Structure 1
Amino acid sequence: MTSTPSLRQSLVEHAMRLLDAGDHDPSLRAVARAAGVSAMAPYRHFPDKTALLGAVAAEGFAMLHGRLVVADAQGNAIAAEQALVEQGLAYVAFAQAHPALFRLMFTDAIATAAHVSPDHAAEGDAYGVLAARVATLCPGTAPTATMAAWALVHGFATLALDRRLPPDPEAARAALALFVAGLTKKGPEA
């Protein structure tokens, strides 16, 4: 027996499909139409479009979290430093695979609706995966180093999406490896 997704989950999935298909601002009506339900059906689960897109962003962050966990485990099999590089590559690859979703996830109103903030990072979220790995590499400067690592990968992902950097995984790997080497270098702040 297969279970069917709830209407709420179905609406989120259809909104994600619309984003992936190029609709950067799907309306509740368009999502309802894609899901094959009445225009009023989404209002049973979402008071407005911002709430729906907040749920979509939360789903995007859950997907990103899963990819970072897998990347971290693959890299950690080699070395802790490589795990951080692999996380960065997974972050950039996620952005390139889901550009509209990625941009939506970091829209102020949507991130607020999704209850996402690095100030409230937990082990179970994407930022928490990054923070945990960075803490193993430089425990004395972990909060600052985590912020720097996130800024680097988010900047790289955004610049690649904006075609300001080539979407070259080897260039990203080299930049991330250079950053990690500097991050783990023992100096006065370490």
Structure 2
Amino acid sequence: MTETTSGLRARLIETGVELLHSEGIPSLTLREIARRAGVSHGAPRRYFPTHLSLLSAIAREGFADLAERVGAALAAEGETSPRDRLLALGRVYVDFARTHHGMFELMFRHDLLESGGEPGLRRTTLPLFDVLVDLVARARPGGEPAPAVVAGALWANLHGIAQLWRWGSLPLATGCDDVEPLLRAALDAHLGNEAAAETGPESR
């Protein structure tokens, strides 16, 4: 039975994802992906006109996986406070960077995201960012800067924590053996101190 075009395309992407997880970005050549998928080295060109278009399709799987993990974590939080839900999102983000470091690196490659192979790939980040903006807006209603700006700064902070923790720089510099205090400090920096918010002006 002949494999369908969509089936082979999906197999090439799946093979690329598996190869990325096991051997990292340098292994993601068209030839190696084709070899692992059991097809001729020219076969990927029939579905992906450029190498970057295949890498983009693989990266899209990473964004989908991260979004699913964040969704599950937020669902597990139930009706907790927006700050607690932001903390849960941060944990997932850092854990994804630690356990899927090859994919995490690929997902944020500027040359990849700007390529013409997968139009709108950069926009794949927007639904997750919208979740972040919504939670920030509910955690700090009113005030300036706008929630999108605060969410952007918080995202940059989380991304930096994820990268530096994975590289071992933050544990060495801070002496922390757990990323949780850093995540809480990031939330305090962008949302205001949690203890002060709970105490309120009446107690001061």
Class of the TM-score when normalised by the shorter of the 2 chains: 0.7 to 0.9
Contact preservation (8 Å) 2:13, 2:54: yes
- Work out the percentage of aligned pairs sharing the same amino acid: 33
Aligned equivalent of 1:178: 185
Contact preservation (8 Å) 2:170, 2:176: no
Aligned equivalent of 2:34: 32
Superposed, 1:105-184 pairs within 5 Å as 105-113=107-115, 114=118, 115-117=120-122, 122=126, 125-140=127-142, 141-166=146-171, 171-184=178-191
Superposed, 1:37-116 pairs within 5 Å as 37-113=39-115, 114=118, 115-116=120-121
Aligned equivalents of 2:121, 2:177: Cα separation in 1: 30
Aligned equivalents of 2:177, 2:71: Cα separation in 1: 21
Aligned equivalent of 2:202: none
Equivalent position SS for 1:171: coil
Aligned equivalents of 1:20, 1:135: Cα separation in 2: 35
Aligned equivalent of 2:10: 9
User: TM-score normalized by structure 2?
Assistant: 0.78
Aligned equivalents of 2:42, 2:20: Cα separation in 1: 21
User: TM-score normalized by structure 1?
Assistant: 0.83
Aligned equivalents of 2:121, 2:139: Cα separation in 1: 25
Q: What RMSD over aligned residues (CA atoms) do the two structures have, in Å?
A: 2.8
Q: Which runs of 5+ in 2 are unaligned?
A: 198-204
Question: Which runs of 4 or more aligned residues in structure 1 lie more than 6 Å from their structure 2 counterparts after TM superposition?
Answer: 167-170
Contact preservation (8 Å) 1:61, 1:105: yes
Task: Give the letter aligned to residue 88 of structure 2.
Answer: E
Structure whose alpha-carbon radius of gyration is higher: 2
Bigger mean CA offset, 63-72 vs 149-158: 63-72
Bigger mean CA offset, 76-85 vs 134-143: 134-143
Aligned equivalents of 2:74, 2:114: Cα separation in 1: 27
1:91-149, CA deviations, whole angstroms, 9 ceiling, x for partnerless residues? 0101111111110111112122453447x864xx3222222222222344201110111
Aligned equivalents of 2:107, 2:176: Cα separation in 1: 22
